[in-house]
Structure 1
Amino acid sequence: MQISDFLFPKEKVAYIISSATMQEALEKLEQSQYTAIPVIDGEGKYIGTLSEGDLFWKMKNTPGLSFQNLDIIKVHEIKRRIHNECVSINAHLEDMLHLAADQNFVPVVDDNQVFIGIIRRKDIIEYYTNNITD
């Protein structure tokens, strides 16, 4: 069993580019119905995870910011309170499982730190539920 066996590829993942606006991030979260999504930079490298809470706190702590002007804030300007660590596609399975214990999803990167997808904790639990026998 390898990390790649659990990979949910980038093409199917809701993610946001760091140069996108706060408005775009809010819409992406709403469309995907997720509470957090990976953030990648212009080169495709994983740089963090943006959550609904991050957007909420940015609105609360930015005077004059409202739903009407969310396009003035870029994603890279938003402080992220949760740090989801990523794992290399070539890492040991145990490394990924350790991260998945504390994260709903584990971002996966290639050898150049380019984001290639995620591993969902849900998929790990389903796999082991279906394959563990007494």
Structure 2
Amino acid sequence: MNIAFFLLPKSEVITATPQATLRQTLERMEYHRYTAVPILSDQGHYVGTVTEGDLLWFLKNNAEQVGFDNAHRHVLAEVPLRVNNKPVHIHADMVDLIDLAKVQNFVPIVDDSDKFIGIVRRSEIIEYCAKQMLFKSASPSSS
């Protein structure tokens, strides 16, 4: 099945840019209750995913220079990303997402121009897999 059916479009996804301050990023993540958000370039390309862990490790490892009181002076581009979440092209099948979903809350989706167009959430992938399992167990040939 094509993943377009499961796509949460870019217009509904909370994202950040490399120029966003740490404070802006933290506040958006807290407000929306997300543990990770996609980072997009000014041209709309997927750059990576920043997680709460990335931000916390950055603050811990730079405690002398960076704190919550001056987080507005530091940008997301300064934060090393611990995990390289790979995007998937819109023409991929749901099966292509399963391995990625094991280690990511969502899978970033890009179009033919490699522009970010949205995400597929892990919960959607799990639901799809569960329905496939139920369908196979209910079909007469599986008996």
| TM-score of the superposed pair, with normalisation by structure 2 | 0.87
Tell me which protein shows more helix as a share of its residues.
Answer: 2
Q: Which moved more, 1:49-58 or 1:99-108?
A: 99-108
Map 1:69-88 onto structure 2 (within 5 A): 69-88=70-89
1:11 aligned counterpart, secondary structure: helix
One-letter amino acid matched to 1:42:
D
Map of 2:140 onto structure 1: none
Instruction: State the 4+ residue runs in structure 1 displaced beyond 3 angstroms.
Output: none
Shift in Å, 1:76: 1.1
Does structure 1 conserve the Cα–Cα contact (< 8 Å) formed by 2:37 and 2:51?
yes
Structure 2, unaligned runs of 5 or more: 138-143
Q: Is 1:5 matched up with 2:5?
A: yes
Is 2:89–2:110's contact at 8 Å kept on the other side of the alignment? yes
The one-letter amino acid paired with 2:11 is E
Amino acid at match of 1:67: F
Structure 1 residue matching 2:39: 3-state secondary structure: strand
Distance 2:101 2:58 in 1: 27
CA RMSD of aligned residues (A): 1.4
Larger Rg: 2
Q: TM-score, normalised by structure 1?
A: 0.92
Mapping for residues 15-94 of structure 1, pairs under 5 Å: 15-62=15-62, 63-94=64-95
5+ long unaligned stretches in structure 1: none
Alpha-carbon distance, 1:73 to partner: 1.0
Report deviation, 1:9: 0.8
1:35-63 Cα shifts (integer Å, max 9, x gaps): 11110111110010001111111111112
Q: Does 1:128 align with 2:110?
A: no
Instruction: Give, as a single letter, the amino acid of the residue that structure 2 aligns with 1:78.
Output: V
Identity value in percent: 42
